[in-house]
Structure 1
Amino acid sequence: MNRLVVTICLAPAALAAGGIFDEADVVFLGELHDVPGHHLRQAEYTRELDPTALVFEMLTQAQADLVTPDLIADPDALEQVLNWSDSGWPDFAMYAPIFAAAPNAEFYGAAVPRDVARAAMQGEVAESFRGDAVAFGLSDPLPTDQQVERERLQMAAHCDALPAEMLPAMVDIQRLRDAELAYSARQAFQAHGSPVVVITGNGHARRDWGAPVYLERVAPELSIAALGQGEEGDGDPDGLFDLVEHSQPAIRDDPCDAFR
């Protein structure tokens, strides 16, 4: 497959999907979770693509099953039903427009419940996966260079505060989340056809080792596209994407303060 990597800086109202996303069966829309502009772009692309189904990294399937058009029309009620305030995700107001962009879509959740994640940290991650771990490639060891790089990124993401012995398990959990996203996207496509839109972090949307890799393995016939989003002045997100965009940076405290 030929892959186009484009970096653009656009006003939020301008759309640039063109033919990159229009013909895809599954479109991964990446984000930095706390950047408001990223969620606006996801909502705009979702509205433009009019998906049959939306898959959220932020929801479990049990939560996704609660979403209805009536709740989407009342964001405060939807936030309460989803128990969003206890989820650890940023303000629901940033995500509500994405739901509103496709109120009649089917909703799927790919989040790994906390108890499952805790169990996976203590044992074989493949056993915690909803699907066939062998078919999805979740039971295969990573190439050494990728394992090393992913451990490095985990350490950096946690402000160099993690014990080194925790890093392999942290990578395994990320792989589990990748596979769960792929599992849900495949389910959504099989049940409803294309296009399916997946809302997730950049790390899971990247085409070189994120959820698209797992989806391609079990459904090579699907056409997949991925958006990565960065912040203006901070370079491109790590990884391979079909399209890269930049929004105004979030205003945030130093995330490493919590580790000091």
Structure 2
Amino acid sequence: MLRLSPALRALWLLPMAGVSGASLAATDGDQCAHPGQWWQGGQALAASTLFEQAAEQDVVLLGEFHDRMSHHRWQLHTLAGLAAHRDDMAIGLEMLPREAQPALDAWVAGELSEAQFLQQSQWHEAWGFDPALYLPILHFARMQQIPLLALNIKPALRRQLATEGFDAVSAEQRFNIDEPAPASDAYRQRLEQSFQMHPTSMGNKSQGNENQGDNAAFETFLNAQLIWDAAMADALASAVDDDTLVVGLMGVGHLAYGDGVPYQLEAMGIADTLALMPTTLEACEPPDGQLADVLYLLGDEQAAETPPPRLGVQIAPSEDGVSIVAIKEESLAYKAGLQPDDIVTQAAGQEVRAPGELSAIVQQQAPGTLLPMEILRDGNLQEILVRFPPAEPLR
């Protein structure tokens, strides 16, 4: 799975040789892992060793929780370190489907403004998270002239492949993606647990699983997840050559415990990969060494982050606008009086025809303001005001 540098081989031999690794492992006076450390194999790892090791790989994967700004800051810092060790690098993005590649190329070339890029890439339609989380990374790539790669495929194609099979879709239509390697037993078990917890969630529905968690619905969900992993692995593998380090940014679920994308890459013959992931520890405990090849320990930065504005709804496309599928209790939408099956036709005076358009408006809403929404309920148009809470006072 990993290609080890001589320095790293020596590092792993230190305990067996009885040599102290004081600079890399906790000392007698400091037995706790702490923020700012890289960890591998149960001990702290020097940043210089980590980047030396990572620079020798074909593919490096950087996991994320999509809505955590601290995770994206860590990704940016890590990308900068990798770029300092490799002149030729490419960055792959789970966030966008293959159709967005021309927009990514134009962005790196400096031909698009932020607004033009978001429009031409159809960011809000493809990805439900605030682009502000990713813009620093996008600007870094443009500043350094690092190619950006669209790794994903659209949900409709993923659903078609999962339900109809690969023979039903031409190679060109599926971007020459082949059938994925079967899931490991452990990956299958983790996905089944997730599916059983949320059998009717939008995540399952978006994969084409409308059933209530029965076996057939789970198999479709599993196939869709494997296709998702394989599509991203295929794009990464296609970009690998002797002179390019390919770095993929994706959710932690696609790389945890060596499954997902690393597993599919290995099946494609790409074995020199390294999966990195940020994590936050509770109390004085070492991190889970099986979670990723290398972990980076974050402090409790989430408490210092301003949470993004959220309505607290699950939404879906509708012929007349955006349909409200479900509402979280005590959410802003709940308090405003929105109901399941409402159809949002306008928000902030703008027509909304796709979930991404509504998400974009919500993400731009300032604290302490009202968001007027026009909804269609039982055939009648109504206006609802959503109250966004004021910002936390400075202390």
TM-superposition CA deviations, 1:106-154 (whole Å, max 9, x none) = 22212121220231342226866544635xxx2x543445423321123
Structure 2 partner of 1:47 = 80
Rounded to whole Å, the distance in 1 between the matches of 2:140 and 2:252 is 20
Contact 2:92 2:148 (C-alpha < 8 Å) held by counterparts: yes
Shift of 1:231: 4.2
Shift of 1:19: 3.0
Amino acid at match of 2:114: P
Matched, 1:88 2:127: yes
Higher relative helix content: 1
Matched, 1:75 2:114: yes
Matched, 1:106 2:147: yes
Q: Secondary structure at the match of 1:58?
A: strand
Rounded to whole Å, the distance in 1 between the matches of 2:196 and 2:137 is 31
Amino acid at match of 1:205: L
Rounded to whole Å, the distance in 1 between the matches of 2:175 and 2:290 is 26
- The counterpart of 1:211, out of the listed 258, 261, 265, is 261
Aligned-residue sequence identity (percent) comes to: 20
TM-superposition CA deviations, 1:38-88 (whole Å, max 9, x none) = 111111212222252111111112202222325487333322222222223
Structure 2 partner of 1:123 = 164
CA spacing shift, 1:20–1:65, aligned 2, 3 Å: same
Structure 1 partner of 2:22 = none
Rounded to whole Å, the distance in 2 between the matches of 1:258 and 1:159 is 16
Q: Secondary structure at the match of 2:152?
A: coil
Q: Secondary structure at the match of 2:232?
A: helix
Structure 2 partner of 1:227 = 276
Of 121-130 and 102-111, the range deviating more from structure 2: 121-130
* TM-score normalized by the length of structure 1: 0.78
Contact 1:32 1:230 (C-alpha < 8 Å) held by counterparts: no
Contact 1:47 1:102 (C-alpha < 8 Å) held by counterparts: no
Spell out the pairing of 1:91-240 with structure 2 (5 A cutoff).
Answer: 91-103=130-142, 104-124=145-165, 130-131=175-176, 133=178, 138=180, 140-156=181-197, 158=198, 163-165=212-214, 166-190=217-241, 193-206=243-256, 208-220=258-270, 222-231=271-280, 233=282, 240=291
Rounded to whole Å, the distance in 2 between the matches of 1:122 and 1:160 is 17
CA spacing shift, 1:122–1:132, aligned 2, 3 Å: closer
CA spacing shift, 1:243–1:115, aligned 2, 3 Å: same
Q: Which has the higher contact order (CA 8 A, sep 6+)?
A: 1
Contact 1:10 1:246 (C-alpha < 8 Å) held by counterparts: yes
CA spacing shift, 1:66–1:132, aligned 2, 3 Å: closer
Matched, 1:38 2:83: no
Rounded to whole Å, the distance in 1 between the matches of 2:67 and 2:111 is 21
Give the length in aligned residue pairs.
249
Structure 1 partner of 2:348 = none
Structure 1 partner of 2:97 = 60
Contact 1:55 1:185 (C-alpha < 8 Å) held by counterparts: yes
* TM-score normalized by the length of structure 2: 0.54
Shift of 1:259: 6.6
Contact 2:158 2:228 (C-alpha < 8 Å) held by counterparts: no
CA spacing shift, 1:142–1:259, aligned 2, 3 Å: farther
Rounded to whole Å, the distance in 2 between the matches of 1:169 and 1:238 is 31
Q: What is the RMSD computed on CA atoms of the aligned residues?
A: 3.6
Q: Secondary structure at the match of 1:199?
A: strand
Of 181-190 and 160-169, the range deviating more from structure 2: 160-169
Of 176-185 and 87-96, the range deviating more from structure 2: 87-96
Matched, 1:27 2:78: no
Rounded to whole Å, the distance in 2 between the matches of 1:238 and 1:159 is 30
Shift of 1:100: 1.9
TM-superposition CA deviations, 1:188-218 (whole Å, max 9, x none) = 113x732111011111123521111111222
CA spacing shift, 1:199–1:145, aligned 2, 3 Å: closer
Rounded to whole Å, the distance in 1 between the matches of 2:278 and 2:115 is 27
Structure 2 partner of 1:244 = 295
Rounded to whole Å, the distance in 2 between the matches of 1:30 and 1:84 is 20
Amino acid at match of 1:105: I
